[in-house]
Amino acid sequence: MANEIPIRWSAEAVTDLTEIHEYIARNSPRYAAAVVERLIAIVGRLRDFPESGRIVPELDSPTVREVIHGSYRIVYELRDGRVEILTVFRASRLFPSLPR
């Protein structure tokens, strides 16, 4: 699509995915790969629908949104014409400080 918005993953978000994979892989490397692949795929929809995620209730900022998939929250910011993935974490955990 011509109007696709670029997506950038912060270093923290990449580390989050790596840690999620490593944790799940202790019991099932195949499932770990599937979970991470699905999280990445979910983010892909933001290229066409960057405002499709809900506003993060803890921050109440229209530019910081999240997509929830299963037990994971994928937090992103609409910044300078792109989507910046800030962090990925389990919804059961406290909201982390964000890289900005």
Domain 7-90 has CATH 3.30.2310.20: yes
Contacts of 79 (CB under 8 A, 6+ apart): 63
Q: Is residue 91 helix, strand or coil?
A: coil
Of residues 94 and 84, the one with the higher pLDDT is 84
Residue 2: per-residue pLDDT: 53
Question: Nearest to residue 86, comparing CAs of 70, 71, 53?
Answer: 53
Residue 94 has pLDDT above 80, yes or no: no
Question: Nearest to residue 53, comparing CAs of 72, 75, 70?
Answer: 75
pTM given for the model: 0.88
Residue 3: per-residue pLDDT: 75
pLDDT digits (tens, 9 = 90+) for 39-59: 999 999 999 999 999 999 988
What six digits make up the tokens of 5? 């918005």
d(CA 88, CA 39): 9
Domain residue spans in the chain? 7-90
